[in-house]
Structure 1
Amino acid sequence: MSRIAEVSIKTVSRVINDQQYVSQDKRKRVLEVMAEIGFQPSQAARALKGGRSHQIALICDNPNPWYVYEIQAGVRERCAQDRVRMIAQPYDRASPTLLEDIVALIDQAHPDGLVLAPPACDDHRVIDELERRAIPFVRLQPGGQASDAPSVLIDNEQAAFDMTQHLLALGHRRIGFIVGDRSYAASGQRLAGHLRALSAAGVDVDLDYVRQGQFDFASGQSGADALLDLAEPPTAIAASSDDLAAGVLAAAHRRGIAVPGELSVTGFDDAPLAQVVWPALTTVRQPVRDCAAAAAGLLLDPEGLREQRVAHELVIRDSTAPPAA
């Protein structure tokens, strides 16, 4: 390549590694030759020589395809700004080789850092291994202080507090709550925010109005059925995700319960689903893509931040109204 471009081998190396001290004319000639012969530098080989691999890995698992896509899009878009490649690795909690798979990714691809999405962000096995190897990582939506690594998050507790406060302001006092998958820290945080809002308003906390879900449509339906079968059913149900809330809507429609005339329903995320269901969901807008981009940014351009919070937004639509007289 150096012969074709009529430059030294050191100049070619500097262009490949995006280093300084190369004239624009020589850089242009090397890049043209690289494109002409289809040359792609070996990222692993560069890493083995002690340089950066210009790759970061995303460890991500979530049953909601929209959520996974938004995280991947946010990381990928931020990486593109720095001409860095994103590698996505599934996080399978049930796999007996989970840690071995992540170690294999590190050993083979030599990423410059990792973004850990929930629930990997709270997995002590993964965190301990990365800290042992001194590999930079950022935790996305962590649930606790499992590490001093930088993190990016929204205030899930405050977001749920704001949503329940909205229902209380409408006049609801019997408010059901469907919790998300218990392995995600955000589920407990959202439940805590809901209960705090009830207590702050002087409403007695009755755990009969709390049901466990899995962040999916089916558990939203079953949770709603259990709540609506109570002797004094709730006049509103707050769900920990939009998928759960869609299940609540389906259960209400099946029973002939008018939403929001007889039952108010809220979700969490503001996924596209929130505007497709009928009626359109009142929900919390969680800026997933922005959070993921910020996490990648803390890896690519560290600012010394230990925690970066991204604002949530309460989105009022047609699924909430004052309770029937």
Structure 2
Amino acid sequence: MPRNRREEAARHGITGRAATINDIARLAGVSKKTVSRVINRSPLVRADTREKVEALMREVGYVPDPLARGLAFRRSFLIGMIYDNPTAQYIVDFQYGALDALRNSGFELVVHPCDSRSPDYVSGVRSFVLQQKLHGVMLVPRVSEDQALADMLQEVGCRYARVAAVCLDAPERSVITHDRDGAAEVADYLQTLGHRDIAMITGPAAYRSAMERTEGFVGALQRRGIEVPKSRVVEAGYTFESGVAAAEKLLGARQRPTAIFCFNDEMAAGVYRVAMRAGIQIPQQLSVVGYDDSPLASRLWPPLTSVRRDTRDTGRIAAAMLLQGEGEARAVASVRPHLIIRDSCQPPQ
């Protein structure tokens, strides 16, 4: 800051949080409206003016008041994350990605866990959105698959980004994770190793992710002449405990499968536990594949082969989508899965 402006700021006690938007405007020699446009990243401000105002704000340590900004714009500078997902690591990674996108944007992240099985959960989300005056919300599977929730958000005028296995909405509101393709890659890999007696531990049948992974996996095997009988399919709940219960059914049978595809890594960890208790060696006697490629996959022994879907990148894309101008036409955002091969699979004995 030039010496005369620094002295003027000090003379009026304009430092840090004591500074106001009017002070910044006066010291910069611009209007309050111009400062407001700089704060809100409006494209209507000339580059040299923007640089001057931003430099001044840094010099005096001025930080815009989020509440005041929200009152001025009749909304808060908050992005919501709404979820009903039993996998804690997924939620953490998604939040990190969202925070990556929101950093230095002036927006903050608030989270709202809910129970999508509750009859009043849509009204509960509605209350949350209206009370917080949210700028927009990110919908994470499983709630992202609920059309009633999306309809409610459109009704109240709240922007949203919808993360799902397939496209369920307009391109500007969709982030697609292509779960069918990830599962098909697992099928191709296991078949290439020579497995034909393959079992699945799926997620809840009502989840779109579980449906897409099932269809992708079974379809890819059928194209290679391999059928998956119903006795080799066990529905579970995307939790470690449900993986244990499912594995006990499959590995307790008279004839065990030579490979098991689990629809997430936590359920695969459940298979590891049951196999260890039964004296079944992985991968010598049983090949196991997971989904998500969470940190757990590389910590298991032997390290777990798993489908990587970059959850952090998914969160970043969803949050960035809500920061874009409304009505901007663009292609559907995609996050492509791919198989990470480790040591949990080998050809059957």
Fold similarity call, TM over 0.5: yes
Question: Residue in 1 aligned with 2:116?
Answer: 93
Q: What amino acid maps onto 1:44 in structure 2?
A: G
**1:315 corresponds to 2:340:** yes
Q: What amino acid maps onto 2:68 in structure 1?
A: S
**1:199 corresponds to 2:222:** yes
Tell me if the contact between 1:139 and 1:149 (Cα under 8 Å) persists in the aligned partners. no
Q: What secondary structure does 1:169 align onto?
A: helix
Equivalents in 1 of 2:167, 2:333: separation in Å?
14
Tell me if the contact between 2:145 and 2:164 (Cα under 8 Å) persists in the aligned partners. no
Q: Which runs of 5+ in 1 are unaligned?
A: none
Larger mean CA deviation between 176-185 and 90-99 belongs to 90-99
Which of 171, 177, 184 matches 1:161? 184
Tell me if the contact between 2:181 and 2:337 (Cα under 8 Å) persists in the aligned partners. no
Which of 45, 53, 57 matches 2:71? 45
Q: What secondary structure does 2:148 align onto?
A: helix
Q: What amino acid maps onto 2:160 in structure 1?
A: F
Tell me if the contact between 2:307 and 2:340 (Cα under 8 Å) persists in the aligned partners. yes
Tell me if the contact between 2:302 and 2:344 (Cα under 8 Å) persists in the aligned partners. yes
Larger mean CA deviation between 134-143 and 146-155 belongs to 146-155
Tell me if the contact between 1:261 and 1:323 (Cα under 8 Å) persists in the aligned partners. yes
- CA deviations 1:130-185 (Å, max 9, x no partner) are 12234322111255636665311221111111102111111111001000133421
User: 1:15, CA displacement in angstroms?
Assistant: 5.0
Equivalents in 1 of 2:73, 2:145: separation in Å?
28
User: 1:78, CA displacement in angstroms?
Assistant: 0.7
Which of 231, 237, 240 matches 1:217? 240
Tell me if the contact between 1:114 and 1:138 (Cα under 8 Å) persists in the aligned partners. yes
Matches within 5 A, 1:1-325: 1=20, 7=26, 9-10=32-33, 13-14=36-37, 16-19=39-42, 20=45, 22=49, 24-25=51-52, 28-29=55-56, 35=62, 41-48=67-74, 53-143=76-166, 145=168, 150-301=173-324, 304-324=329-349
Q: What secondary structure does 1:35 align onto?
A: coil
Tell me if the contact between 1:137 and 1:149 (Cα under 8 Å) persists in the aligned partners. no
Give the structure-2-normalised TM-score. 0.83
User: 1:293, CA displacement in angstroms?
Assistant: 1.1
Q: What secondary structure does 2:103 align onto?
A: helix
Equivalents in 2 of 1:53, 1:60: separation in Å?
20
Tell me if the contact between 1:150 and 1:306 (Cα under 8 Å) persists in the aligned partners. no
Is the radius of gyration larger for structure 1 or structure 2?
A: 2
Task: Return closer, same or farther for 1:320/1:23 CA change in 2, 3 Å cut-off.
Answer: closer
**What is the root-mean-square deviation in Å for CA atoms of aligned residues?**
2.6
Question: Residue in 1 aligned with 2:6?
Answer: none
User: 1:34, CA displacement in angstroms?
Assistant: 6.2
Larger mean CA deviation between 156-165 and 87-96 belongs to 87-96
Equivalents in 2 of 1:216, 1:315: separation in Å?
21
Size of the alignment, in residue pairs? Answer: 320
Equivalents in 1 of 2:21, 2:254: separation in Å?
81
Q: Which runs of 5+ in 2 are unaligned?
A: 1-19
Q: What amino acid maps onto 1:278 in structure 2?
A: W
Equivalents in 1 of 2:311, 2:215: separation in Å?
21
- CA deviations 1:20-46 (Å, max 9, x no partner) are 36565555445655639x955424312
Between the two proteins, what is the percent identity of the paired residues? 32
Larger mean CA deviation between 107-116 and 161-170 belongs to 107-116
Task: Return closer, same or farther for 1:168/1:299 CA change in 2, 3 Å cut-off.
Answer: same
Equivalents in 1 of 2:52, 2:144: separation in Å?
45
User: 1:102, CA displacement in angstroms?
Assistant: 2.0
Task: Return closer, same or farther for 1:142/1:47 CA change in 2, 3 Å cut-off.
Answer: farther
Tell me if the contact between 2:203 and 2:263 (Cα under 8 Å) persists in the aligned partners. yes
User: 1:14, CA displacement in angstroms?
Assistant: 4.5
Q: What amino acid maps onto 2:250 in structure 1?
A: L
User: 1:75, CA displacement in angstroms?
Assistant: 1.1
- CA deviations 1:171-214 (Å, max 9, x no partner) are 11100100013342111111111111221111133111000111
Tell me if the contact between 1:43 and 1:109 (Cα under 8 Å) persists in the aligned partners. no
Give the structure-1-normalised TM-score. 0.88
User: 1:301, CA displacement in angstroms?
Assistant: 2.7
Equivalents in 2 of 1:26, 1:281: separation in Å?
52
Equivalents in 1 of 2:92, 2:111: separation in Å?
11
Q: What amino acid maps onto 2:195 in structure 1?
A: H
Equivalents in 1 of 2:206, 2:53: separation in Å?
54
